[in-house]
Structure 1
Amino acid sequence: MAESENSAGRVWFITGASRGLGRAFAEAALEAGDRVAAAARDTAALERLSARFEGRVLPLTLDVTDRAAVFAAVEAAADRFGRLDIVVNNAGTLSLGMIEEFSEAEARHQMETNFFGALWVSQAAVRRLRTQGSGHIVQVSSIGAVAGHTSSGMYSASKFALEGMSEALAMEAAPFGVRVSIVQPGGYWTELYTRMRTAEPLEAYAPLREELERQWSQGEPVDSEPGLAAEALLALVGSDDPPLRLLLGGMVYDLAFDVSRTRMNTWAQWEEVSRAAERPVPAPAE
């Protein structure tokens, strides 16, 4: 039975809610007095959360790569709580390897969750939210969408695709009162790295891999507690004028500005060539 729309608190739908950032997001929302439809492949880890916040958590077993299951889960959440207010596309996986090393199956696996899974959730969510005339979709992207990097190119590809889709979705959803925000986190202590996949290495890239390992071994760890990201998310969804993009962390903030400056400088240096490549002419005669 659906709960009254007048029940206290907002209603969230969060994917990948059993661990990491998704778990932190769910806990923060519940502690704020809201209700959460917590979707995950394995909901066993949500039992304590359900007991602690009795009646305000709806665990949903969900593989986001299953489009029909995604639509059913979104509808089940809306039916249970009477509405949806915030949809967080958080489920994601990480695959590392040089671009040449990826098999077709490995490349498609990376895209299935990070892009297509997020696409299915976005489609199901926007249909429900535009009908009710309100709501906020939050796409959890990554520092990997600010710039590609050696060995994480396929992961970056999935997040770049997510952001391109989300920019268009934001424009399409706005007339219906639905907002879209892209969150770009830096490093957080989650299970993303411990559960990542690695492509079969090619010997040709051994020196480059050794150099990467040397770089990673230097300096102090820069990852943060997921709870800090959850605090930022609450500020985002609580804003009357949320941005399209929000950087999470000083490292990704600095990187975003450095990358943007470098790109702008390069574009300026090649401006003459760029402008010369365009000259309007009448349509060719058939």
Structure 2
Amino acid sequence: MSKVVFITGASRGFGKLWAEAFLKRGDKVAATARNISALDDLVSTYGDNILPVQLDVTNRPDNFEAVNKVVEKFGRIDILINNAGYGLFGTVEESTEQQARAQMETNFFGLLWVTQAVLPVMRAQKSGHIIQVSSFLGLTTIPMLGVYNASKFAVEGLSETLASEVAHLGIKVTLIEPNGFATEWAGASAIQTDNTIQDYTPVREAFGESGSDPSIWGKPEATVAPILQIADSPNPPLRLLLGKVAYHGVVQAYTKQLEEVETWKEVSIAAHGH
């Protein structure tokens, strides 16, 4: 039986790639974008199986309207893929208030609003799968992406909590945690801070050098099979890392965290007081 898939940020990158993958196999897709003309090619190929929806996820009421349109068209929503988001590059101190707030508005609050809009539909169905596109930088961090890291850490906490709240309703939650991929995430989709501070030049240069290694960037097409597998799984994981950089980076970070927890174990336990 075909699924109804609601994907945000579907105009390019992962969103468009995954939307087409679902359409190719016969699923129905509601694809949102700020500029839906970017979806014209999919509409011409897949016709009524795709519903383009113009949407700015930061506008909470518009998310509810978008969900209503999808239900009117397709009757249900089986899978939500919260993919809309972008990167903010710059040190923590260099990030402006406007940039920091805008980053959280899209990456965290936008995801929250879409999730809240879809949940009543899935509760009524007693079924559904919410797939949140986070990042391996929601589990560990790298310099020059502090506010972005924070937005994804927030997505992790929200979604893990949500999973525990909706499991008894037949709703599943999965966090997708990619490393860097050769999409426009670090290019046209990204925001760079202008307020450069000289003291951070060594950090900035080291970051630039690390990103110049082509082997760290995954191939977007390689994510299609894992996404379809997760979407079809009767028992999907809460978390799925995408890419070898993500896997090794998270294992290393967690190992170091556990070692530090054990090193300070006695101090931690003594702090309980009894």
In the superposition, the TM-score normalised over structure 1's length comes to 0.92
Q: CA deviation at 1:153?
A: 0.9
SS at match of 2:218: coil
Residues 1:49 and 2:42 are matched in the alignment: yes
Alignment counterpart, residue 216 of structure 1, candidates 207, 211, 215: 211
Q: Name the CA distance, whole Å, in 2 between partners of 1:81 and 1:132.
A: 13
CA deviation string 1:192-238 (max 9, x = no partner): 11121111211221232223223333x44322222221211110111
SS at match of 1:139: strand
Alignment counterpart, residue 149 of structure 1, candidates 113, 125, 142: 142
Residues 1:91 and 2:84 are matched in the alignment: yes
Q: CA deviation at 1:278?
A: 0.5
Contact persistence 1:64–1:117 (CA under 8 A): yes
Aligned residue number for residue 102 of structure 1: 95
Amino acid at match of 1:29: F
Q: CA deviation at 1:181?
A: 0.5
CA deviation string 1:60-91 (max 9, x = no partner): 00000000001110111011101110000000
Alignment counterpart, residue 203 of structure 1, candidates 198, 203, 207: 198
Q: Tell me how many residue pairs correspond in the alignment.
A: 272
Aligned residue number for residue 29 of structure 2: 36
- The range that moved more, 185-194 or 148-157, is 185-194
Residues 1:235 and 2:229 are matched in the alignment: yes
Q: Name the CA distance, whole Å, in 2 between partners of 1:23 and 1:82.
A: 22
Q: Name the CA distance, whole Å, in 1 between partners of 2:214 and 2:56.
A: 36
SS at match of 1:60: strand
Aligned residue number for residue 55 of structure 2: 62
Q: Name the CA distance, whole Å, in 2 between partners of 1:98 and 1:190.
A: 22
Q: Name the CA distance, whole Å, in 2 between partners of 1:93 and 1:220.
A: 21
Q: Name the CA distance, whole Å, in 2 between partners of 1:73 and 1:86.
A: 15
Which portions of structure 1, spanning 4 or more consecutive aligned residues, are displaced by more than 2 angstroms?
Answer: 210-217, 219-222
SS at match of 1:13: strand
Report which of the two structures shows the higher radius of gyration computed on alpha carbons. Answer: 1
CA deviation string 1:164-210 (max 9, x = no partner): 00011111111111101000011211111112111121122123222
Structure 2 spans left out of the alignment, 5+ residues = none
Give me the identity figure in percent.
Answer: 43
Aligned residue number for residue 226 of structure 1: 220
Aligned residue number for residue 284 of structure 1: none
Aligned residue number for residue 124 of structure 1: 117
Amino acid at match of 2:10: A
Q: Name the CA distance, whole Å, in 2 between partners of 1:50 and 1:83.
A: 20
Q: Name the CA distance, whole Å, in 1 between partners of 2:47 and 2:244.
A: 36
Aligned residue number for residue 251 of structure 1: 245
Q: Name the CA distance, whole Å, in 1 between partners of 2:19 and 2:211.
A: 31
Q: Name the CA distance, whole Å, in 1 between partners of 2:257 and 2:37.
A: 46
Cα gap change, 1:207 to 1:188, in 2 (>3 Å): closer
Amino acid at match of 1:12: V
Map 1:164-175 → 2, pairs under 5 A = 164-175=157-168
SS at match of 1:54: helix
Contact persistence 1:114–1:158 (CA under 8 A): yes
Alignment counterpart, residue 258 of structure 2, candidates 246, 260, 264: 264
Q: Name the CA distance, whole Å, in 2 between partners of 1:125 and 1:214.
A: 41
- The range that moved more, 187-196 or 106-115, is 187-196
Structure 1 spans left out of the alignment, 5+ residues = 1-7, 281-286
Aligned residue number for residue 27 of structure 1: 20
Contact persistence 1:126–1:173 (CA under 8 A): no
Aligned residue number for residue 152 of structure 2: 159
